[in-house]
Structure 1
């Protein structure tokens, strides 16, 4: 069995981890911070449809849980499946959000680096939204 190269990308957020999890687990809010879903998600039974440049992807999320797991399985129109491991854990009075980026077998160095940069940007956006909203500066929550 061959494993894929992996990179764990994380950000610390000055907000109670349960608030962070609740925001991230609200799938309709994901387009606010997850650029790959910027066109939105539409519910379809137990899955969500995410339109994108490669067609409609089907997204299945981990059920609500008390462990901060926001994993999701993305199935592309061509049948390829990508597991996205996304976790929120307590970090002092705040939270640590971690995304495990797996390098797909057909992905070159530049594309893997570009994907990592996108994930960093998305997590930074999430941090900004959640830290600003706790002070009443934003009302997107």
Structure 2
């Protein structure tokens, strides 16, 4: 990837496609983790090392606490940069970390088992089945 870290300071986010794409290209995310980002971003400070992480999250508070927000953002950015420096000194660990980011991003795919395509197809089939039952019921009433 041309970037080592992706910065996503969103106030709101429906899914977070930008962050998902960043992970797909092996970039850890520095973000607020709001909205749909909560579904797949795992903060380094809240995960055990065996579970892995893919982000450095900070709180984006209202304007009355802007100084606190800026300090949290700086801390998240500094942590990500420091970790990157450590990984750059151990290329095997860096490769494992990047591969884990990519694997996590692939689990967000539309065609994954139990994913959106499967759910939409199931819903569509249920709607067709219900419609077919209604048509059969009407045909029975009309012929009877």
Same fold (TM over 0.5): no
**TM-score by structure 2 length?**
0.30
Higher strand proportion (structure 1 or 2): 1
